[in-house]
Amino acid sequence: MFSTSPRLKFIINSQLLISVMIALMLITVSGCKKDKKIDDGKPAAEMYESAKRYMNSQNWGRAIQAYQELSTRYPFGRFTEQAQLELAYSYHKGGSPEAALSTADRFIRTYPSHPNVDYAFYIRGLTNYEQRVGFMERMMPSRVRDRDQTVARESLRDFNQLIRRFPDSRYGPDARQRMVFLRNNLSFYELDVARYYLRRKAYVAAANRARYAIETFPGSPEMGNALEILHISYTEMGLPELAEDTMKVLVLNYPNHPYVTGESKSGFFRKLWPFGKN
């Protein structure tokens, strides 16, 4: 049989010994680095204060990074819980609405009984309102009502949940004011669509839109216009009783409405009194 020479055995054993020593050294160095990372880790309170300073100075990028590092190193604890809320706010102010929404959602799911969970609902509504609706309002005020209202509805829903679940929340007053703006614009949007159906002589669709606006957004400044569209639709559909009832409501609640006084092009009483204004 083939036998290995003593010199070859020495070389093989030496190489094996060197490989083992290198492996042990790598394990030792790795262990030292790991221990050093743990030993040198900042306390959660210190990391939180550092992240908060970045947020207060509006350095959103550094704040986001700092809050993420805190959550990674200390996944549990009161500092991490508060950090999640402030991380959502930093995402919102830093122009990352999707990240803000997902962070707020995660907080609501994880800490449904947290004393500050109302802030998570507020951030959701504020993100949808400010990053989408608010931006359009500032840049093109006349176009806010013309664009897709999906996000506006989401914002209204978020604020509504905040008010309903936390009626005494300190964020309630601001949420209510924003809800007024959202409701008014949503009602205008519905009536804008209803007018489109009127022009197309799709009276059933126009009546449905107007009725939906009346039922969903009571008190909106557009209610008089909704009743006008509803009266026209019922008249064109050959439903005189419904048209008459609608006109009674319009006259009672909005006696100075242009449709009632005949000042509008389609004024009801203008049709009855041909000697009015041209």
The domain that holds 127 is classified in CATH as 1.25.40.10
Given a contact cutoff of 8 angstroms between Cβ atoms, the answer to whether 226 and 245 are in contact is no
Residues 6 or more apart whose Cβ sits within 8 Å of residue 151: 128, 132, 133
In which domain, by residue range, is 149 found? 44-170
Given a contact cutoff of 8 angstroms between Cβ atoms, the answer to whether 44 and 74 are in contact is yes
Q: How far apart are CA 119 and CA 108, in angstroms?
A: 10
Pick the most confident of 28-32, 115-119, 127-131, 143-147. 115-119
- Whether residue 10 lies inside any domain: the answer is no
Mean pLDDT of 219-246: 94
| Structure tokens given for 220 | 């909106």
- Whether residue 30 lies inside any domain: the answer is no
In the chain, pLDDT over 70 holds for what percent of residues? 73
- 136 and 65 inside one domain: yes
Residue 41, pLDDT > 90, answer no
- The pLDDT of residue 75 is 86
- The pLDDT of residue 151 is 85
Q: pLDDT band at 100, cuts 50/70/90?
A: very high
- 212 and 164 inside one domain: no
Per DSSP, the three-state class of 3 is: coil
Q: Which of 141, 170, 199 is the last residue of a domain?
A: 170
- 75 and 151 inside one domain: yes
Q: How far apart are CA 169 and CA 175, in angstroms?
A: 10
Indicate the range of 125-134, 188-197, 267-276 predicted with least confidence: 267-276
- 208 and 121 inside one domain: no
- 134 and 215 inside one domain: no
Task: Please choose, from the candidates 172, 92, 183, the residue with its C-alpha nearest in 3D space to the C-alpha of residue 132.
Answer: 92
| Structure tokens given for 252 | 């009672």
Q: How many domains does the chain have?
A: 2
Residue 21, pLDDT > 60, answer no
- The pLDDT of residue 16 is 54
Distance of CA 264 to the CA centre of its chain: 38
- The pLDDT of residue 50 is 94
Looking at residue 127, what DSSP letter applies? I
Q: Cα–Cα distances in Å, from 64 out to 8, 52, 138, 183?
A: 60, 10, 26, 33
Tell me if the pTM is above 0.85. Answer: no
Given a contact cutoff of 8 angstroms between Cβ atoms, the answer to whether 118 and 166 are in contact is yes
- Whether residue 6 lies inside any domain: the answer is no
- The pLDDT of residue 23 is 52
- The pLDDT of residue 232 is 95
170 vs 270 pLDDT, higher one: 170
Mean pLDDT of 17-29: 52
Distance of CA 158 to the CA centre of its chain: 7
- Whether residue 12 lies inside any domain: the answer is no
Given a contact cutoff of 8 angstroms between Cβ atoms, the answer to whether 182 and 152 are in contact is yes
- Whether residue 245 lies inside any domain: the answer is yes
